[in-house]
Amino acid sequence: MLRILSFSFALLAGAVAAQTEELVVDLSQNHVAITADYSGSEIFVFGAIKRDHPLPEGTAPLEVAIVVEGPLEPVTVRRKEKKLGIWVNAASVEVEEAPSFFAVATTGPLDEILTESMQADYAIGIDHAVRRLAHDSDNPDMESFNEAVTRIRVDSGLYSERDGIVHLTDETLFRASIQLPANLVEGDFSAKVFLIRDRNVISQTTVGIEVRKTGLERWLYNLAQDQALLYGLMSLLVALVAGYGASELFRLLKR
């Protein structure tokens, strides 16, 4: 009976701790402007843990994970095979939900602070960035296509996972710096912050980030989307003028 009471008390203490810890999160900027000379930027994620009362003695240490994610988009992945000495596209599949950007930052090694099931449930970690694949009976090896998308985007700097860069002070204040690459796509991004204790997520919150093209970049983007014919004609005109100007310059230099 004593063991049962002790175990019940421990569960109750853990539940109380989880219910009374809330996240207060803010960002250094909620809007990122992509201009003609945009070469990447940096976002600081910082915040605090609000508690109703002190935690019981012996409570497991707190950990923090931050996931910054770009808008989901479909991606078609093709596998190349060598046929008759030539590399050609073979099997292909459409990945239905692949974040255009995915960065994970944690207070410690992800596998040590969070269970595998929790990582999968909350999509924390590069292995869980691409979450759903289209069904295709002709391509049973779906996982390889999933891994291909992840590998390509890691190589291009769009996906990253960095352990130990979230600084947690007195289990109350935290901060981290997330690098945004130059090849961002515009859209609505999100910064998700997770509180972790005993390798389980006990609280989470999300803050939005707007990434938008501005200035000439925005005008050209809108023109290409809304008036594709006019955009094509303007591109052709610019190419003709540039070509003519270059030929005239070379002709003058030969004199």
Dihedral pair phi/psi, residue 28, rounded to 5° = -70, -25
- Which tops the pLDDT comparison, 51 or 247? 51
Looking at the chain, the whole-number percentage of residues with pLDDT higher than 70 is 75
pLDDT single digits (tens) 169-184: 998 999 999 999 988 8
Contact of 208 with 29, CB cutoff 8 Å: no
**Residues 9, 254: Cα–Cα separation, whole Å:** 92
CA 107, 129, 191, 185 dihedral sign is positive
Given this model, what pLDDT does residue 137 score? 45
Sequence ranges of the domains in the chain: 21-213, 215-255
pLDDT single digits (tens) 194-227: 999 999 999 999 999 999 887 666 556 665 666 6
Q: Starting at the edge strand that comes first in sequence, how are the strands of the sheet with 187-197 ordered?
A: 31-34, 200-213, 187-197, 62-69, 102-106, 159-163
Q: Please give the CATH number for the structural domain made up of 21-213.
A: 2.60.40.3880
Show the tokens assigned to 119: 């990582």
**DSSP 8-state secondary structure symbol assigned to residue 84:** T
Contact of 133 with 146, CB cutoff 8 Å: yes
Task: Quickly state the pLDDT bin for 10 (edges 50, 70, 90).
Answer: very low
| Residues sharing a CB contact under 8 Å with residue 235, sequence separation 6 or more, in sequence order | none
